[in-house]
Every structure is written in structure tokens, then in C-alpha cells.
Amino acid sequence: MTATHVLDFPLPDVGEGLTEAEIVTWRVAVGDLVEINQPIVDIETAKAVVELPCPFSGRVSALLVAEGQVVPVGTPILSVEVSSPAEPLPHSESREAVLVGYGVAHGTTRRRRLTSRAAPRPSAPAPVVAGRPIAKPPVRLLARQLGIDLALVAPTGPHGDITRDDVQRAVTPLVEARPVRGERIPVRGVRRAMAEAMVRSMSTAPHVTEWLDVDVTGTVRLVDQMRDHAAFAGMKPTPLTVVAAAMIHAAKRTPIVNSSWIDLPDGSSEIEVYSHMNLGVAVASDRGLVVPNVRDAGSLSVSGLARALGELTQRARRGDLTPADSVEGTITVTNVGVFGVDGGTPILVPGEAVILATGRIVDRPWVSDGGLCVRPVMQLSLSFDHRIVDGAAGSTFLADVAAFLEAPPITLA
Amino acid sequence: MAETAIQLLTPEGTRVEHPDYPLEVSAEQLRTMYRDIAITRRMDVESTALQRTGELSLWCPTLGQEGVQVGAGHAMRPGDYGFTTYRESGIFHVRGVEADELLQLYRGNTHSSWDPQRVGLGLFTIVIGSHALHAVGYAMGIQRDGTDDAVLACFGDGATSTGDVHEAMVFAAAFSSPVVFLVQNNQWAISVPVERQSRVPIAQRALAYGMPGIRIDGNDVLAGLAVTRTLLDRAREGGGPALIEAITYRMGPHTTSDDPTRYRDESDYAHWDELDPLERLRRHLLLIGEADEVFFAAVEAECEELGEKVRGSIRGMPDPDPMLMFDAVYAEPHRDVEADRAQMGAYFTRLQESA
């Protein structure tokens, strides 16, 4: 009788980088005679169910892995007693495979029947992204279907993009029961529009704010004159009228403040400098903040401005404004002084380059011609989109507005 | 679809004449082609088994497509040049590529297999369709050399959806280059059926480029031989490029990593099994009395012997010397490569010393 020896068959990687497989069905039993290339076992990998051929001919001496067991590549699964001195298999323990067709990530084995279960995703800090939120079209569709505004979703994708999970997470808080600890105010209509506009503006335009205190003695005097003047009969001229005139005047020297940043579909950008000025006025209404604008304000006389601003604010307070009043503004003024404060860091109306906030007019100590005196003083706060307006242009505009208010170059006939 | 394609040998093994593609073929040549198909198929089975026992990292079966491949391989002249995909074992074999030469690539022992000049076949690209451009470039080179060689560019139905193949056809037609595009329409681009890729028969696209488009029965070795030879000769005589769409079927998976039962119906197999290229030629040889069971048994024995030989040579193949990677980067010595070689050599020496 010839000497026999036993050879083990280690589980091969049958699919380019697989790490394990399940033994599904043994086709041979201990004691069976097997031939080279005879199918001996069905295995299931992450990719497929395949049958393995026997690399030896001889008698099966052991099945080393039971059906249903999942074992790593390289695990001996079968022992065969061979009679001829067969050449042992040169086994490399973990050969790196080339990739053709569908690959499987190293170290993961997802079973077919488990593919619907989402793998946990490591959440990495995402870069802050300006502009349109980045999301793949199917994710955008999902967001649309779920009524989620992508601008309000925190991205966790590897490129700062919003993933499907991010959108789902944005829905969850609405669905999950959170204990009610106060009055719930639905966010819709004007309030929702405001919220979305503010988020859009802050997430796209880099804001810079500058401040300047102005002695508005000249403005106060002019407003008093206007109130007594025939041309302003039936109107209520206010310092805002003069501020509007000052902005129109100052924008003539610095036209870039009356402009808009435009992102083009090809990824490039342009700045559109307007030849007209639709002057928006931020108004607090019962339903929230609205910003109607005075059309082509630059073409109006001071009395025309006073009339238009008066009408606008009245209609706003009555709730008579239509959405058409609030579109296509090019520059905005907001009078926070009516609330008794001096200034702040106003947020741009999306698509505009500057916004001017005017504070309360209050008597303050003021130094004039080297002497201390008491003057009506107002603070101006100017925020601008630093992509469009640089510090020099913003400061020039602000200083020009201040100079106008200090000594309005307007003579009432 | 196959009914409208040119056929010179019916599935029953009967010879059919076609007015445009007359073919005279000797009994000796028929037996040679039978042997070529049988060997190609046996190597395919052995390669799959070698992959399944961990000896190869991957294999791309040719099963079912050997008819047109062997026919086209025989249609080429020695001086002609082929550019193929990875699923072309029939052409590899006919052109003289040895099985273990081919398989060392799939074992991960080399980045390239055979000597392209020796067999007149470019090394195949894994990137789908890119070699169609190489083929046209080579054909344009032939035009400039002024020889009467021609080029055969082989790819599948999936590759016809790539931009490279489109560009190749545009250039070939524009320059009237001596190249024949042989599309093996095996019905599946991995898991995408051909219906998803073309609204019209692929051969019909050729007309738009300005070249003839001919559909043939891809499981008919004689149609593959006659039509490819006629169109290669037309090309070498200045007639310009042409496209052959060979209707066939990928009987196996896309690769050993693929599981076709996930996406296609196994009932298709029976239909295509009836059209099998090897069985068809066997019936023909028996019908005309030019082969007997002794011949077929001898071929089978030869195949078994070859299978054993390849198995032995693959299992015994030593891992390559890692320093080989520096040898073929440039044709001539290069300073940076030499520096890398020296650094790697020193590293291996240190490893051995510390072991």
C-alpha cells in the first residue's frame, strides 16, 4: 500500500477581496472518494452562492466546518487523504485582489438579505458650505417630498453634502414626541419666509457690520421744516425720509452698494450693479417682518419719497401689503430706533449687498468746534456682503450717508 | 434576432451558402477549429476551478462565445493585429497565447501577460472600450506605413455605450482606416441587458458612421470566419472600416465575482444551449463524415492533458520577484526608477538581515 497523507483545503477568496463565507451545503461526506475539480461544497459570500471544486483527488477524511457556519477566508474547511504525493497548495494567507466589476470593501461582508439594513455612518465634522446646499438629486427629491428645506439641514456627508440620513434626521424631531413645555407657535407664512430668508442670507453672504454716530441736528431741523411745508401737506415726513434721500445720494458715489451677487449654473459668479434703486423698508407687522420696497426710489423727489414711504408703512401696518410689494428690492433700510435702541448687526435681505439700520435719535453730549454741547445723535449700522462690497466702499457709503444727515443739502423752496 | 443574422452553419450542423460571403474551408481546417473551440472551453473550465480553489484572484469566462472568437481568429492574417477585451480566450488561443501566460495576470503575478508583437494582439484593457481607440490608431499607422495589414477591434455590446467606441468609429470612418469592429453582443453588460443600451440593432449604428454593419450568428464559427475575413480584406484593400455584430450569449457569469442568477432568467440558457458553437461544429463534422468518435475522444484527451498541465503550472508558479516591478516602467534606464529600485533593494536586504 502506498503511503497516504492528508491535505487541507482552506476557504479561498472567490470574489476579489472577500473576507469570509458561509458553508451552505456539503456535497460530499467523510469517506467519499473525490476527484480534482469535483464540486464539493456550496458557499455563500457577500456576492454570490458559488460551488467550490475539489483541488485534490482522494478520500474525504474530514469536513472541518459545519453547514450554516460563517468562516474567514483561509480557514481549512475540508481534509482529503491523498495517496499520491500531491504537490501541496501554495497558499498565500491573504492575497490582495484586483478589482473588476463590482467590488466589496475590505473588511466588510454584507449579506444579501441584510442589505436593506443601513450601516452606521461615522459622523465627521462637515465643512461649512456657502451657497446652495450640496445634495444629490435623489436626496433633493426626498427633501422636497418630506417638506424639508435643505438650507436648514446640517450636512454630514464627506464633501459637506447633505445625505439621505441627514434629511431623515431633520424629519425625526417633527415626528418624535417632545414634551411640550410652553406655547407652540407654528412657523408658517410670513414668519417662515423670514426664517428662511435669514438662514439663506447668513449662510451665503459673509456679513460685515460698521457703525457710525451722527449729529442729526440738520436732519431734525429739515423734518420740522417739511412738516410745515405746503409740498408735504397731508404727509408725515420723518427722519426716515431724509435717510432714504441720503442713501440715494450716497449710492451715486458708490454704486456697488446697490447690487446683487449672482451664482451662474456653470459655477462662476457675477455681480449685477443696478441702474435703478428699489428701496426696501423693513416693517414690523402683526404677522412678522416684511420688507416692501419703494419702486425706483432714485427717481423720486424728497416729497415723492415722503409720500411713498408714508403709504408703504401705513399699508404694512394695516396688513394691506401684497407679496408683489416685497420682491425685487435692491437695497434696504431698517429703523430699529422705533424700538428705542441704537443699532445692531442687521442681516441682509437675500440677494442684496447692503442694509442700513438707523437707531433712535437721542440727545447726547457732543463735541463740536472743540466745545462740548448737546446734540440729537443717531447711530447708523451698516451691514454689507463682503463678497461684493469691500471695507473702503462700505465705509465711503456709510460716511456719505452720515454727512448728508448731518447737513442735508436740501433746500425747501 | 439570430434569425436575421448571417449564418453559414445551422444549429443542426448543415452548411448554408450566402451569396456575399462564399467560404471554402477544408476538412482539416474544420477539425482545427473544432479543436480550438474545445481547448478554449476546457481552459475556461479549468481557470474557473483554479479561481474557486484560490489559485487565481479572478477569471472572466468566455463560455458560449467561442464560435465567433475562433472564427475571427482564423480570419486574421499573421500580420494583422487585434485589440481585444478580457473575454476573448478563443482569439487568444488561436493567435498563440499560452494558457499559463494568460493566467499569470489573473494570479496577480504580472501586469501584462504575453508579448504583443509575437502574437499580434495588444494587451487587453480592463477599461471598457478604450482599446477601440488604440485599434483605430494602429490602423491609421498601417495606412501611413503603406502595408496591407488590417486591424480587428473586439468588444462587447456594453462597450458600444462608451464614448471611446464612438470616437473610434468616427475616426475610423473619417480616415477610412483598415479596421473591423467586431461587437460580440452577448446580451448582457454585466447585469444590464442589451435592450437597455440600444433601441436599434447595434449593427444599424454603423450606417450612421458611414460603414457597413453586418449581423452574424455569433455561435456559428463559419459565419465568424467568412464575414470577418471578407471585411478585413475589404479594409486592407482600402474599402474602409466595417462593423460586425455577432449575436451570442454569455453562458457564464460576468466574472467569477458575479452571480447572474440575481438578474437574469435561467430559462434563457436552454435556448442558447441549442445554438452551442462546439456542438454545432461537431454535428457538421459528423454529417460530412470528416470526423469520428476517435477524433472527438482524442481532442477530449488532449483537453484533459492540457487542463492538468495548466493546473500544475499555475499551482507551481512561484510568486514573482518584487524587484521585477522596476524593470518595465521605461524602455531605457531612468534615474528616478533606478533610485526607487536601489531604495527598495536596500529595504529588502534590511528585512532579511533582521529576520
Q: Is B51 on the interface with A (CB under 8 A)?
A: yes
CA dist A342 and A333 (Å) reads 14
Q: Is the predicted pLDDT of residue A92 greater than 80, yes or no?
A: no
Q: Is the predicted pLDDT of residue A123 greater than 70, yes or no?
A: no
Q: What is the mean pLDDT of residues B47-70?
A: 95
Which residues 109-138 in chain B show a CB within 8 A of chain A?
A: 126
Q: What is the mean pLDDT of residues A363-391?
A: 96
Q: Is the predicted pLDDT of residue B52 greater than 90, yes or no?
A: yes
The whole-number pLDDT of residue A208 equals 96
The whole-number pLDDT of residue A119 equals 38
CB atoms within 10 A of CB A142: 18
CA dist A26 and A39 (Å) reads 9
Cβ distance A47 to B257 less than 8 Å, yes or no, reads yes
% of chain B exceeding 90 in pLDDT: 85
List the domain range (segments joined by +) for residue B346: 322-355
Q: State whether B210 and B332 are in the same domain.
A: no
CA dist B161 and B152 (Å) reads 19
The CA-to-CA distance between both ends of chain B, in Å, stands at 65
Question: Among the listed ranges A37-46, A111-120, A403-412, B177-186, which one has the minimum average pLDDT value?
Answer: A111-120
A–B: how many Cβ contacts below 8 A? 79
Count of structural domains, chain B = 2
Q: State whether B220 and B329 are in the same domain.
A: no
The whole-number pLDDT of residue A84 equals 65
- A150-175 burial, b at 16+ Cβ within 10 Å, e below that, comes to bbebebbbeeebbbeebbeebeeeee
Q: Give me the residues paired with residue B184 across strands.
A: B156, B246
Tell me the nearest-neighbour CA distance from B327 into chain A, angstroms: 21
Centroid of chain to Cα B178: 19
Give the model's confidence band at A129: pLDDT under 50 very low, under 70 low, under 90 confident, else very high: very low
Please state which CATH class domain A120-174 belongs to. few secondary structures
Instruction: Check residues A121 and A328 and name the one with the higher pLDDT.
Output: A328
Q: Is the predicted pLDDT of residue A139 greater than 60, yes or no?
A: yes
Catalytic hit among B229, B250, B280, B282: B250
Q: State whether B10 and B125 are in the same domain.
A: yes
At B46 the three-state DSSP class reads helix
pLDDT digits (tens, 9 = 90+) for A212-257: 999 999 999 999 999 999 889 888 889 999 999 999 999 999 999 9
CA dist A115 and A21 (Å) reads 16
Query: Which chain A residues have a beta carbon less than 8 Å from that of B126?
Result: 100
The whole-number pLDDT of residue A18 equals 81
Q: Is A386 a catalytic residue?
A: yes
Q: What is the mean pLDDT of residues A58-68?
A: 93
Tell me the nearest-neighbour CA distance from A158 into chain B, angstroms: 27
Q: Is the predicted pLDDT of residue A104 greater than 70, yes or no?
A: no
Provide the CATH number for the domain around residue B68.
3.40.50.970
Q: Is the predicted pLDDT of residue A91 greater than 60, yes or no?
A: no
The whole-number pLDDT of residue A128 equals 45
Q: State whether B159 and B239 are in the same domain.
A: yes
The whole-number pLDDT of residue B325 equals 86
Secondary structure string (H, E, C) spanning B132-200: HHHHHHHHHHHHHHCCCCCEEEEEECHHHHCHHHHHHHHHHHHCCCCEEEEEEECCEECCEEHHHCCCC
% of chain A exceeding 90 in pLDDT: 52
Nearest to B315 among A12, A87, A98 (CB): A87
Phi and psi based region of residue B210 (left: phi greater than 0; alpha: psi -120 to 50; beta: remaining)? left
Domain boundary assignment for chain A: 5-114, 120-174, 206-406
What mean pLDDT is reported for chain A? Answer: 84
Which residues of A sit within 8 Å Cβ distance of B? 9-10, 12-16, 36-37, 47-55, 87, 89-92, 95-98, 100-102
Q: What is the mean pLDDT of residues A139-158?
A: 86
Q: What is the mean pLDDT of residues B245-272?
A: 91
pLDDT winner (highest mean) among A105-109, A132-136, B49-53: B49-53
CATH tag for A5-114 (out of 3.30.1300.10, 3.30.470.10, 2.40.50.100, 3.30.1380.10): 2.40.50.100
Q: Let me know if domain A206-406 sits in CATH 1.10.10.10.
A: no
Q: What is the mean pLDDT of residues A123-151?
A: 73
| Residues B102 and B114: beta-carbon distance below 8 Å | yes
Q: State whether B275 and B335 are in the same domain.
A: no
pLDDT digits (tens, 9 = 90+) for B105-152: 999 888 878 999 999 999 998 899 999 999 999 999 999 999 999 999
Question: Among the listed ranges A13-17, A121-125, A390-394, B310-314, which one has the minimum average pLDDT value?
Answer: A121-125
Q: State whether B122 and B263 are in the same domain.
A: yes
| Residues A362 and A340: beta-carbon distance below 8 Å | no
The whole-number pLDDT of residue A141 equals 84
Q: Is B55 on the interface with A (CB under 8 A)?
A: yes
Can you spell out the DSSP letters for A367-393? EETTEEEEEEEEEEEEEEETTT--HHH
Q: Is the predicted pLDDT of residue B332 greater than 70, yes or no?
A: yes
Tell me the nearest-neighbour CA distance from B293 into chain A, angstroms: 25
Give the model's confidence band at A131: pLDDT under 50 very low, under 70 low, under 90 confident, else very high: low
Query: Which chain A residues have a beta carbon less than 8 Å from that of B306?
Result: none
Q: State whether B216 and B345 are in the same domain.
A: no
The whole-number pLDDT of residue A171 equals 78
The whole-number pLDDT of residue A174 equals 55
Q: Is the predicted pLDDT of residue B185 greater than 50, yes or no?
A: yes
Q: Is the predicted pLDDT of residue A393 greater than 60, yes or no?
A: yes
The whole-number pLDDT of residue A226 equals 92
At A72 the three-state DSSP class reads strand
The whole-number pLDDT of residue A10 equals 93
Q: State whether B312 and B328 are in the same domain.
A: no
pLDDT digits (tens, 9 = 90+) for A262-318: 988 888 899 999 999 999 999 877 777 888 999 999 999 999 999 999 988 888 877
Q: State whether B262 and B330 are in the same domain.
A: no
Q: State whether B70 and B104 are in the same domain.
A: yes
Q: Is B290 on the interface with A (CB under 8 A)?
A: no
Q: State whether B196 and B61 are in the same domain.
A: yes
Q: What is the mean pLDDT of residues B212-219?
A: 97
Q: Would the CA dihedral through A9, A14, A16, A21 be positive or negative?
A: negative
Q: Is the predicted pLDDT of residue B100 greater than 60, yes or no?
A: yes
Instruction: Check residues A108 and B32 and name the one with the higher pLDDT.
Output: B32
Q: Is B350 on the interface with A (CB under 8 A)?
A: no
Question: Among the listed ranges A13-17, A355-359, B294-298, which one has the minimum average pLDDT value?
Answer: A13-17
Give the model's confidence band at A93: pLDDT under 50 very low, under 70 low, under 90 confident, else very high: very low
Query: Which chain A residues have a beta carbon less than 8 Å from that of B259?
Result: 47-50
Q: Is B257 on the interface with A (CB under 8 A)?
A: yes
Give the model's confidence band at A39: pLDDT under 50 very low, under 70 low, under 90 confident, else very high: very high
Q: Is the predicted pLDDT of residue A120 greater than 50, yes or no?
A: no
Q: Give me the residues paired with residue B153 across strands.
A: B83, B181
pLDDT digits (tens, 9 = 90+) for A157-186: 888 899 988 888 887 665 556 778 888 887
Cβ distance A50 to B55 less than 8 Å, yes or no, reads no
Q: State whether B211 and B350 are in the same domain.
A: no
CA dist A6 and A89 (Å) reads 12
The CA-to-CA distance between both ends of chain A, in Å, stands at 132
Question: Among the listed ranges A322-331, A389-398, B167-176, B330-339, which one has the minimum average pLDDT value?
Answer: A322-331
Phi and psi based region of residue B209 (left: phi greater than 0; alpha: psi -120 to 50; beta: remaining)? alpha
The whole-number pLDDT of residue A101 equals 36
| DSSP-assigned letter for residue A363 | E
Cell of A178: 417632545
Q: Is B111 a catalytic residue?
A: no
Q: What is the mean pLDDT of residues B85-109?
A: 94
Instruction: Return the beta strands (E) in chain B as ranges.
Output: 81-83, 151-156, 179-185, 188-189, 192-193, 213-217, 242-247
Cβ distance B255 to A100 less than 8 Å, yes or no, reads yes
The whole-number pLDDT of residue A85 equals 57
The whole-number pLDDT of residue A188 equals 75
Cβ distance B108 to A98 less than 8 Å, yes or no, reads yes
| Residues A18 and A73: beta-carbon distance below 8 Å | yes
